[in-house]
Amino acid sequence: MSRLTKWIHEQAPSRESFERSRFLRPFAHRVFHPALWRFTRRSVPRGVALGLLVGIFFLIPGVQIAGVALLALPVRANIPIGAAMTFLSMPVTTPLILIASAYVGNAMLHESI
């Protein structure tokens, strides 16, 4: 393991530290439900859909991730996938995604630009 990844693992908060947080304690049983963090065939598509939906309608990056985390609770969506999907709607990544999708589409259809 490299020094950087070792340092990151040492600095990252543990699940127990989140559960002891006074802000999360009242609803920790809901936030730390295993279905919200496991990669299952039901929670991942829900996380993708929720992340893209929130990413399109809430255009402020900090609000997007918090919105996904809050909305994932009632629909049992995967929180990490939902948070990652919000980054697809950011202005910096949108041109790169469009260029990459055009390249992949042209390569699969054997078309030239």
Residues 31, 45: Cα–Cα separation, whole Å = 19
Q: pLDDT at position 45, please?
A: 93
Residues 61, 66: Cα–Cα separation, whole Å = 9
Q: What is the pLDDT of residues 75-102, one digit of tens each?
A: 989 888 888 888 887 777 777 877 888 8
Q: Which residue has the tokens 């809430």?
A: 58
Q: What is the pTM of this model?
A: 0.61
Domain ranges of the chain: 1-27
The string of DSSP letters for the chain reads --HHHHHHHHHSPPHHHHHH-TTTGGGHHHHT-GGGTS--TTHHHHHHHHHHHHHHH--SHHHHHHHHHHHHHHHT--HHHHHHHGGGGSTTHHHHHHHHHHHHHHHHHT---
Q: What are phi and psi of 41, to 5 degrees?
A: -70, -15
Q: What is the pLDDT of residues 17-65, one digit of tens each?
A: 777 878 777 777 777 777 777 788 898 999 999 998 888 887 776 788 8
